[in-house]
Amino acid sequence: MIKQEKFDEIKLMFGLFKRCSNALDAFKKHLKAYIIEEGLKLVKNESIENDELVRKIIEFRQRMVDLL
């Protein structure tokens, strides 16, 4: 859902998870893991030039800011 930028659906999911004490913690844990995994994929990709890497990291960060 994050990759497809389905933020409305994620917002609904968040609202449901907020009602359960442990569910929200699990959601945060998986979101954190996703952010780290995607960031590492970008950094470790040797075929991406420095300028493009910076642009992609900034775009990824903006998507995460939009999500939050």
9-55 confidence digits (pLDDT tens): 888 888 888 888 788 888 888 889 999 999 999 999 999 899 999 99
Residue 42 lies in a domain: yes
**Does residue 40 fall inside a structural domain?**
yes
**Is residue 2 in a domain?**
no
The angle subtended at Cα 38 by Cα 44 and Cα 55, nearest 5°, is 75
Q: How far apart are CA 48 and CA 68, in angstroms?
A: 27
Burial class (CB in 10 A: 0-12, 13-18, 19+), 68: exposed
Q: Which domain holds residue 47?
A: 7-67
Q: Which two tokens stand for residue 21?
A: 């004490």
User: 1 in a domain, yes or no?
Assistant: no
50 Cα distance to chain centroid:
22
pTM score:
0.71
Assigned domain for 26 exists: yes
Write down the pLDDT at residue 31: 86
Q: What is the pLDDT of residue 38?
A: 92
**Residue 24 in domain:** yes
Total structural domains within the chain: 1
